[in-house]
Amino acid sequence: MRKIDIFDTTLRDGEQSAGINLNTAEKLEIAKQIERLGVTIIEAGFPASSPGDLEAVSLIAKTVKNSIVTGLARAVKGDIDAVWEAIKHAEQPHVHTFIATSPIHMEYKLKKNPDEVVEQAVAAVKYAKEKFSLVEFSAEDAFRSDKEFLVRICQEVIKAGATTINIPDTVGYASPEEYGALFRYLRENVIGSENIKFSAHCHDDLGMAVANSIAAVQNGADQVECTINGIGERAGNAALEEIGVALHIRKDFYGVETGLNLKEIKRTSQLVSRLTNVVIQPNKAVVGKNAFAHESGIHQDGVLKNPETYEIISPALVGEDEVPLVLGKHSGRAAFRDRAETMGFQLSDEKLNKAFAEFKKLADRKKEVTEEDLTTILTEQQVSIENVPLFELKSVQVQYGTENIPTATASVVTPEGEVKTLAATGSGSVEAIFNTLEQLVNGTVNILDYRVKSVGKGRDALGEAVVNLKYNGFTSTGRDSAQDVLEASAKAYLNAINRQLIQQRVREEQAVMN
């Protein structure tokens, strides 16, 4: 079967979604899980956009071995140099450079004529080829570009050394028939197209990103660019999990394979959702919590008699296996470490000890510790930053009654190691907690969003809280979990403040260096 490369851009295009702000540890954790999923290429970021992004891309390039790591660059030398600085340690250094080619982008954004755009694209690809063996060129807003101009610029960048040409539907305007026809046209008219890969990159503004991507595959695309859970700017990108499963389930029709380890889909989806704080809609294809649920009596009867009556995808295919009890309160450290490694976590001894202590506390209070519980505990430790003094919650207590004003009292260890006990009131228990913790910082904290959800099922399930706030002019999102949602809320608030303090420290260090 023809092999289709999967190019994952969760950490670049996906992270551009409004409200997503991943730190380096979180990006690395997602990259390692995407590598386990078996994608061909991981676009780890846009190194020229910030020193933090360059650092994250560099760390991913040094860590990931089984997927090609790339970074995005505008068609300028400085951006390409930044990608090289980040990617040069990788097994196969790869750069993804782009310039817009549609009339509206060239006139209003670039303020260049077509000849100038071709000249800049060719110069960028030639320069990149001096450093990278793998050079991908993207014609931004390709679908709305003149087809003859696309042929021209594709031919010129192929001569300059491009190994992949990406034809994005940047604004999600295409229909499957039109997008597929464009790839067929380019295959038939671009001189040298037999020597390069064509890549599809679709946005979901009209809800057709996955359909358009598959249409491109049917018409000569060798690579599909997509994101986990379909996250991305505006309405998002084509969803990797939907493309991967669709091409697998209907390989009799499409005749292609991707090399993805589909059993890692559920874990990858949940990790990205947890770290980006983007909730997966219940009816989301493949990974939504209702994807394998059957409410209708007729459906239930059919599934009981033969699952294939209504399930074209088996839950096991995407890693939706039931693991109700993985460890108990009598489990030892060795068993805990073994289970963590089996789940793909590689923690330092210090982090493992902290995770084990959290597990023991939970096991004493819960009848069953599920895989979802363990994933939450281990993920929190995996992405935590070691040896950095931050705020740490020691205890929180809330006094509440329908006839009384809610009052919260919290004890917190400050970054200086001092224990402070504070109290405040609010119109509700959560507001009282937030008002109490706000006294720890200098300045006003504005809560932009606050959400609580359960991890797993049952009345003893963990509660996970997400707090999005603005502090000192910057936004930050924190999350944490506990069996008590008020404790989880307090910890999430401090997590958001801590993330802001870390970023502030980084900005100050960069200012000194500059």
Residue ranges of the binding site: 13, 201, 203, 237
What's the count of helices (H) and strands (E) in the chain, helices before strands? Answer: 17, 16
DSSP label at residue 369? B
Helix axes 265-276, 371-382, angle to 10 degrees: 50
Stretch (H or E) spanning 49: none
The phi and psi torsions of 339 (rounded to 5 degrees) equal: -65, -40
Cα separations in angstroms, 2 against 134, 185, 223, 225: 21, 20, 11, 17
Q: State CA 5 to chain mean position distance.
A: 19
Distance CA 223, CA 2 (A): 11
E strand segments, 44-131? 68-74, 94-100
Burial class (CB in 10 A: 0-12, 13-18, 19+), 491: buried
Q: Give the residue from 14, 39, 42, 67 showing the smallest Cα distance to 244.
A: 39
Looking at the DSSP bridge assignments, the partners of residue 100 are 140
Q: Where are the beta strands (DSSP E) in 355-427?
A: 392-399, 407-413, 419-425
H/E run at residue 35: helix 24-37
Q: Which positions make up the binding site for Mn(2+)?
A: 13, 201, 203, 237
CA 200, 204, 207: angle at the middle one, nearest 5? 120
Taking each helix axis as running N to C, give the angle between helix 77-87 and helix 51-63, from 0 to 180 degrees, rounded to the nearest 10.
40
Nearest to 291 by CA among 271, 272, 264, 319: 319
Give the length of the chain. 514
Beta bridge partners of 135: 95
The identity of residue 486, as a single letter, is L
Close Cβ partners of 16 (under 8 Å, ≥ 6 residues apart) = 232, 233
- Distant-in-sequence, close-in-space partners of 417: CB < 8 Å, separation ≥ 6: 389
User: C-alpha distances in angstroms, 196 versus 121, 149, 160, 201, 432?
Assistant: 17, 18, 12, 16, 60
What CA–CA distances, in Å, run from 464 to 279, 448, 483, 513?
Answer: 12, 17, 8, 38
Report whether 80 contacts 128 (CB < 8 A): yes
